[in-house]
Structure 1
Amino acid sequence: MTGSRQRDLLTREAAHLAPGASEEAAVGERVFTSGVGTVLTDADGNRYLDFAAGTLTQSLGHCHPEVVAALTEQARRLWNVHDFATADRAELCELLAALLPAELDTYAYFSTGAEVVEAALRAVAAVAPPGRNRLGALRYGFHGKTQGARLLVHWDIGYQSLAGNSVLGYSPYCYRCPLELTYPSCGVRCADLVRKHIADKPNISALVFEPVLGAAGVIVPPPGYWERIGAACRANGVLLVADEVLTGGGRTGTFLASEQLGIEPDLVTLAKGMASGFPFAVLAGRREVLRHPEIDRAGSTASTFASNPLGIAAALATLTVLRRDQLLTQVRVLGDVLAARLATLHDRHPMLGDVRGLGLLWGLEFVRDRTTRTPAPELARAVYRRALDLGLRTALGGNILRLAPPFTLDAAELDQGLDLLDQALTETAEVTR
């Protein structure tokens, strides 16, 4: 429950703080004061298992001691010298080269997911041949809140309607197929239409996409989707730009989700899992793209906080632990357990219309009725709030709850969190009958 200390702090800040917080913050009404590993503590001393991992950022959990030590040591020495080389940058480059597919051997460093997506768009514009002046993207995609990222998916704000330069293809949203087909008898028609309208067009320079759509509710593509699209893009000279801001860094059980979906991107954007919640982003690409003469101009990969020593220190510590402790294996093992337990919850709770995911990234879609599949955001909010009261934090968005716990949780914590989720589902069903 939100105690007196938290209510006081929320009241004080509301007098000055602009509205527009995330749905989970607005509904949750919590004031967190500390975090260790998988556990958060609020201002009234209540503790929570964090199955949202910050904002899907805390791959190693909160305040991992090696990341804290690296940041503390770096903070004593140097914070910002623009994008000059610093002592750890070469080592981070080499570590990324060991973790990423071999063809992605060239990197640029930024501060946020939206910033690195914008950098990828600039790179595409720089290398695109004459006539290839449009971009492809997927419906339901999310690439950030800056103007370029918004225009990719034609996301308007208020009364402002800016004409996007992108062509939108169908996402592999099997649960709510816009073509009203059923997999596998559909023959993956959505992929064929992406090929027809994007991959095969001579005026498309790149397809920008999330391999697994995150903000849309963890939409996992069926077999055959990316294989068809990727091959067609490659054959027609359309660059593949994988937005792995959310999935990159091992969240799905491989360092890139692209690896297990059969995608060979030309550019990849990474951010959330790179530096344990410290603002840091990476643009990784093939050398023929990121070393193209049109990109090799002063300032093209620089910004105020790009390559800052603190972000590099946090990323180097995070990825070192990820590799040394074989956490990708841990993600796959725990992901299998999570999949089995969530399948059981789906069988037991009719309000769960669909449960889908990979590794330690899952989406629970709430419906009023499984036959009509009418979205039930009110049920998602009620379960989210009840789970918080019981001591479990998830990620809320519309009629979706996302589960994305830290990679470092153990089997007992996973079971405990899912027991709390089961209890929240049961109690919500009882009061909403």
Structure 2
Amino acid sequence: MAGHQQQQLVREARHLAPGASEEAALGGRVFAEGRGAVLTDLDGNQYVDFAAGTLTQSLGHGHPEVVAALTRQAGLLWNVHDSSTPERAEFFELLARLLPEHLNTYALFSTGAEVVEAALRVVQSTAEPGRNRVGALRHGFHGKTMGARMLVHWDVGHQAFSGNSILGYSPYCYRCPLELTYPSCDLRCATLVTRHIAQKPNVSALVFEPVLGAAGVIVPPAGYWERVSEACRENGVVLVADEVLTGGGRTGAFLASELVGAEPDLVAMSKGMANGFPFAVLAGRDELLRAPAASPAGAYASTYAGNPLGIAAARATLEVVARDHLIDRVRVLGERLSEQLAALRARFDVLGDVRGIGLLHGLEFVRDGSSRTPAPEIARAVYTTALDLGLRTSVGGHIIRLAPPFTMDEALLDEGVRLLERAIELAVEQVPE
């Protein structure tokens, strides 16, 4: 790569701390502009964006109605802490129309990790005496803050902060830790989550991703969440759905929980809710979010929480999603993408598994189909080759995730898959056996 991009990268490297995402470090691009599903870099090269920002741009880049809403609000008011502003009540009413009826009370925040932490505070405040443990799932991801890391026993350095979390088995059928096969397994993983988390008298809540995103888009088999949810309800365990990635329509329903058979008491949403603008919502049952113990002064306040710019972007985004029936569009495009990716899996032995729901898919690369040995070197080669061809995806380890904008047309979707297929062809040729 030559030209202005390389100069820019060298210039900023003098001051930029390392630790960027794998995709940024491998890609080495300087993106200058985005329009719809297409990005343009500093040297004028264009890319079909199958990652939709960081799985955030529901409406694509620079959607004119979101831009107009932000521009108008920027000229009026930016931040008055958590005081009421003219659009807030209308935004709440819009949310109430889109969410299940029982999720009728809302608190606003600015990031996914922040809203997960807020949900944990609600759980801790309202839990009965003796219920001092929280359940989560192996392979889950809820953010990089302390509470979010403790949920999944994510240690940093030599410090262990597992806290009070109990981990249950996620429905990772391709790599079943119990070495069983669905459906003959009778959902043994769900049975064990029920036994070790839902039925324990000292557990207050189960925090979960309905579809595990960072782990590689792990879609649960039918019956998993129905079984776990029922056990949690029967035993008074609060269900906290982390829909930071999936909330807002990406899976073909406004909440992925609706599709997988879970009925959460609290839901954390961010990413696509405001088309990539920093914004997050905690939605929940009235009796939880309004409980006196959970709502003393300042409980739901923070510096940027619910700022007028975020509300304007979120309202504009969700109004377009609702008006243009884009969740129906997600289902149509998702089926088309799923069929095309299934054909790629049948063709390439290194593509061990393809999983997806709506416009959220994960490609798991392996050295060969029989051993299922993870092959991050192949995933990296596919990612960088695709970029060179004009397709941007999201890579992490041996997984590539795809999450195109809801507004993408069929022709561009097909072109993106064609570029992905060519990238896999070239990557397989260049990676040594």
TM-score under structure 2 length normalisation = 0.99
Within the alignment, does 1:20 sit opposite 2:19 as a pair? yes
Superposed, which structure 2 residues align to 1:4-403 within 5 Å? 4-403=3-402
Tell me the equivalent position of 2:412: 413
Check conservation: 1:153, 1:164, Cα contact below 8 A: no
Shift of 1:411: 0.3
Check conservation: 1:250, 1:328, Cα contact below 8 A: yes
Take 1:296 and 1:302, find their aligned partners in 2: how far apart are those partners? 10
What one-letter code is carried by the residue in structure 2 that aligns with 1:179?
L
What one-letter code is carried by the residue in structure 2 that aligns with 1:284?
A
What one-letter code is carried by the residue in structure 1 that aligns with 2:133?
R
Take 1:284 and 1:382, find their aligned partners in 2: how far apart are those partners? 40
Shift of 1:220: 0.4
What one-letter code is carried by the residue in structure 2 that aligns with 1:139?
R
Aligned residues: 432
What one-letter code is carried by the residue in structure 1 that aligns with 2:169?
Y
SS in 2 for 1:94: helix
1:364-413 per-residue CA deviation (whole Å, 9 max, x = no partner) reads 00000111100000000000000000000000000000000000000001
1:222-278 per-residue CA deviation (whole Å, 9 max, x = no partner) reads 011001000000000000000000000000000000001111000000000110111
Shift of 1:431: 2.4
Take 1:356 and 1:82, find their aligned partners in 2: how far apart are those partners? 41
Check conservation: 2:223, 2:261, Cα contact below 8 A: no
Q: Which runs of 5+ in 1 are unaligned?
A: none
1:61-118 per-residue CA deviation (whole Å, 9 max, x = no partner) reads 0010000000000000000000000000001000000000000000000000000000
Check conservation: 1:109, 1:307, Cα contact below 8 A: yes
Check conservation: 1:241, 1:265, Cα contact below 8 A: yes
Check conservation: 1:52, 1:404, Cα contact below 8 A: yes
Take 2:430 and 2:305, find their aligned partners in 1: how far apart are those partners? 50
Take 1:174 and 1:132, find their aligned partners in 2: how far apart are those partners? 31
Take 1:282 and 1:402, find their aligned partners in 2: how far apart are those partners? 24
Take 2:365 and 2:354, find their aligned partners in 1: how far apart are those partners? 9
Take 2:72 and 2:2, find their aligned partners in 1: how far apart are those partners? 36
Take 1:94 and 1:163, find their aligned partners in 2: how far apart are those partners? 39
Shift of 1:161: 1.5
CA RMSD of aligned residues (A): 0.7
Take 2:428 and 2:355, find their aligned partners in 1: how far apart are those partners? 21
Shift of 1:430: 2.2
Take 1:128 and 1:163, find their aligned partners in 2: how far apart are those partners? 19
SS in 2 for 1:150: helix
What one-letter code is carried by the residue in structure 1 that aligns with 2:140?
G
Check conservation: 1:6, 1:43, Cα contact below 8 A: yes
What one-letter code is carried by the residue in structure 2 that aligns with 1:351?
V
Tell me the equivalent position of 2:427: 428
SS in 1 for 2:332: helix
Take 2:136 and 2:162, find their aligned partners in 1: how far apart are those partners? 14
Shift of 1:158: 1.3
1:273-309 per-residue CA deviation (whole Å, 9 max, x = no partner) reads 1101110000000101111121221100111111100
What one-letter code is carried by the residue in structure 1 that aligns with 2:48?
L
Check conservation: 1:217, 1:363, Cα contact below 8 A: yes
Take 1:105 and 1:126, find their aligned partners in 2: how far apart are those partners? 19
1:129-166 per-residue CA deviation (whole Å, 9 max, x = no partner) reads 00000100000000000000000001011112123210
SS in 2 for 1:77: coil
Take 1:165 and 1:37, find their aligned partners in 2: how far apart are those partners? 44
Q: Which runs of 5+ in 2 are unaligned?
A: none
SS in 2 for 1:368: coil
Between the two proteins, what is the percent identity of the paired residues?
A: 71
SS in 2 for 1:273: helix
TM-score under structure 1 length normalisation = 0.99
Take 1:260 and 1:210, find their aligned partners in 2: how far apart are those partners? 12
Check conservation: 2:136, 2:168, Cα contact below 8 A: yes
Take 1:21 and 1:431, find their aligned partners in 2: how far apart are those partners? 25
What one-letter code is carried by the residue in structure 1 that aligns with 2:349?
P
Check conservation: 2:267, 2:284, Cα contact below 8 A: yes
What one-letter code is carried by the residue in structure 1 that aligns with 2:309?
L
Shift of 1:427: 1.3
SS in 2 for 1:145: coil
Check conservation: 1:253, 1:360, Cα contact below 8 A: yes
Take 1:338 and 1:323, find their aligned partners in 2: how far apart are those partners? 22
1:185-231 per-residue CA deviation (whole Å, 9 max, x = no partner) reads 11100000000000000000000000000000000000110010000
Check conservation: 2:151, 2:162, Cα contact below 8 A: no
Take 1:428 and 1:32, find their aligned partners in 2: how far apart are those partners? 24
Take 2:31 and 2:204, find their aligned partners in 1: how far apart are those partners? 44
1:38-77 per-residue CA deviation (whole Å, 9 max, x = no partner) reads 0000000000000000000000000100000000000000
